[in-house]
Amino acid sequence: MRYLSILAKPTAQNGGLFTASNSWIHTTRSIDSFELILVCKGPVCLFEDEQQYSLQEGQTLLLFPDRTHGGWKESPRGTSFFWLHFLLDRWELLENPKPGGIATSLVTHNSELLTIFFRQFLHRQETPGYSRWALDAALEVILSELEAETLRQPLEKETFWAAKVSSLIRSRYKEPLSTSFIAGELGLNPDYLSRIFRQETGKTITSWIRDWRLYIAKGLLSEGKLTISEIACQVRIEDPRYFARLFKRQEGISPDQYRRLFYRTHENSI
């Protein structure tokens, strides 16, 4: 089993629901995006590089960019699956589970919920009036559910708790988080939780909280809609001057300089 660690904000491309009207085999190809598949009716017979898969209802598969994938044998009439393409600027492929990781292939415990999330994505894609941000948000909901599904797979105790910490930080970063607070939420001793988290991730819980808040801040800065003070408040760093110092220490440039990297204006004159 391999695990995708997402290190940047994912960008949705497109998605769909495929149903085979006759026996069918997937075209062999290599593309520049990730492709996520959720099987509605199997078997779906796919390969990626040297690995073969025969996927049944409720199983997911994550195909990686710039790798060769396709069908290794025909799938029968009626085979059906959701598919979704997305881009990631920064990611890692791990051999062992880590907090925030998504298993590349899963037998899901709640495929009905994932089906709803895929249908919501397709609804937004096909309905006029939804922005690109709406598609990205729907994609993040799907990936978050896959992260949760990964947590539901059998894991070593230490890995399980470290992943729970990561998930809690991602969902509740706007709250006054601390090691003691998180330990209390999970019903664990703070010293024990700190030790196993560092053992599993190489980082302290405090630094993980900081890094996630700065990751969210970078996304808000790139959108260019909020002031730096408002962004600092959004990520629970209430002193804008401290936020600016922290950001520059981490990224090497100020928040304002970072925002200007993404801010472009096209002006017409008559």
Domains observed in the chain? 3-154 (2.60.120.280), 158-262 (1.10.10.60)
Q: How many CB atoms lie within 10 A of CB 69?
A: 21
pLDDT at 13: 95
Q: Whole-angstrom Cα distance, residue 13 to residue 200?
A: 33
DSSP 77: T
Which positions of the chain have pLDDT values less than 50?
264-270
Structure tokens at 244: 């600016």
pLDDT at 99: 67
Strand order in the sheet with 3-6: 91-94, 3-6, 101-103
Q: Whole-angstrom Cα distance, residue 171 to residue 141?
A: 11
158 CB-near residues (< 8 Å, 6+ apart): 196, 199, 200
pLDDT at 265: 40
Give how far Cα 102 sits from Cα of 1, 12, 144, 145, 163, Å: 10, 17, 9, 9, 11
Q: Which helix (H) or strand (E) holds 34?
A: strand 34-41
Structure tokens at 120: 């919501």
pLDDT at 229: 93
